[in-house]
Amino acid sequence: MLQLKPITDFRAAIRSGNYAAADQLLNDVQQEVEQRWHASNIEERRSLAAETFDLLAWARTVVLCGRAQTQRKLADISRHGAYLKNTGQLELER
């Protein structure tokens, strides 16, 4: 399993929802994978390719789940706001 610092940092950024940091770390991950690729034999390359694919698939899944949760929260806020508007409770802000 890929346990190098840029990859570990990338995983931590994704887990914490810090997607801006993850985006920046992705360049470091790419460089690390490329360095290992050039220093590897064919079997190590197969393993590296599979691990890299798994890492990116995991990151994609986590990001999509976070996005779906955010969309649900926004929908809840929109419904709640519509309810407040219809009941006249927003009039207090004037």
Write out the two tokens for 61. Answer: 């899944």
| Torsion (CA) 66, 68, 73, 78 in degrees, nearest 10 | 140
Q: Which three-class secondary structure state does DSSP give residue 41? A: coil
- Summarised one tens digit per residue, pLDDT across range 41-58 is 999 999 999 999 999 999
Q: What does pTM read for this prediction?
A: 0.71
- Summarised one tens digit per residue, pLDDT across range 2-39 is 678 999 999 999 999 999 999 999 999 999 999 999 99
Displacement of CA 73 from its chain's centroid (Å): 18
Closest CA to 17 of 75, 71, 65, 54: 65
Give the number of domains in the chain: 1
Structural domain range at position 83: 5-93
Q: Which three-class secondary structure state does DSSP give residue 49? A: helix
Instruction: Tell me the C-alpha distance between 9 and 5, whole Å.
Output: 6
